[in-house]
Structures are given as C-alpha cells and as structure tokens.
Structure 1
Amino acid sequence: MIRWVFAIFLALLVFYPLLPFLARAGVGRLPGDIRFRLLGLVMCLPFGSTVLWSAIAFLVAELLSQAGFISR
C-alpha cells in the first residue's frame, strides 16, 4: 500500500510541473478530469486522461509484444 502512495506522490511531483506542456496534448481536458483552484493555485487531477494514456500505453506494449520486440 505504501508503495502505491509513494508512486502516486512521485508521479504528481514529476508530472505537475509538466502540466502546461501536457495540456497541449489534451491532458486535463477530458471528461473525468478535475480542475479546482486552491489558494490561488489551479490544481488538476487528470483521472480521465490517466485512463486514456494508460490504455494507449497498454496497446503499444501489447503491439510490441506481439511483434517480438518485448518478451513476456
């Protein structure tokens, strides 16, 4: 359980500064993404974008596995 909390914290720490650049790719604008303002800072929790990008990463990994570039 603590590994998941650490992983989520690390992911937020890495990707939050990149959010303005990722917004150009549609991250944070899909249904299911939550934006709110807290003490003058705009916070974004991209739940919908995370599901979409995870599905894309899974499909790419599956295609690479089927092509023989990745072994199972």
Structure 2
Amino acid sequence: MIRWVIVIFLALILISWFTPLLQRLGFGKLPGDFRFKLFGREFFIPLTTTLLLSMAAAGIARFV
C-alpha cells in the first residue's frame, strides 16, 4: 500500500514539473481538455492530454 502512495506522489511531482513544457508543446489545449472557472478558481481537466500521454507511455513500455 505504501508503495502505491509513493508512486502516485512521485508521478504528481513529475507531472507538475513537466506541465509548463507540455503546455508549450500544445498539450492541455486539445479538444477534450476542459478549463473552467467556478467560485473564482480555475479548474482544469485534461482528458484528451491524459489519453495521449497514457498511450505514448504504454507504447514506450511495450518496446522497452
């Protein structure tokens, strides 16, 4: 159980580091990525970006 918590924590750190780079490459602005304001806060739900990055990671893992 603790391994999964550590893996999720590290994944969130890596995602937060690479978010500006991915936004410069066009990720996060794809159709299916939702950005909306509610109660003065901005929320972002990157559905399409998540699917593309997951498929890329699965493809890389398959060849490695």
TM-score of the pair, normalised by structure 1: 0.56
The answer for the alignment partner of 2:23 in structure 1 is 23
Structure 2 Cα separation of the partners of residues 63 and 53 of structure 1? 16
User: In percent, how many aligned pairs have the same letter?
Assistant: 35
1:24, distance to aligned residue in structure 2 (A): 1.2
The letter of the residue matching 1:41 is R
| Runs (5+) with no aligned partner, structure 1 | 1-5, 65-72
- Aligned CA RMSD, in angstroms, stands at 2.7
Q: Which residue of 2 aligns with 1:60?
A: 60
Q: CA deviation at 1:37?
A: 1.3
Q: If each structure's helix is expressed as a fraction of its own residues, which one has the higher value?
A: 2
Distance of 2:49 and 2:37 partners within structure 1: 19
Query: How many Å apart are 1:42 and its aligned residue?
Result: 2.4
> Number of residue pairs matched?
55
- Structure 2 unpaired stretches of 5+: none
State the TM-score, normalized to the length of structure 2. Answer: 0.62
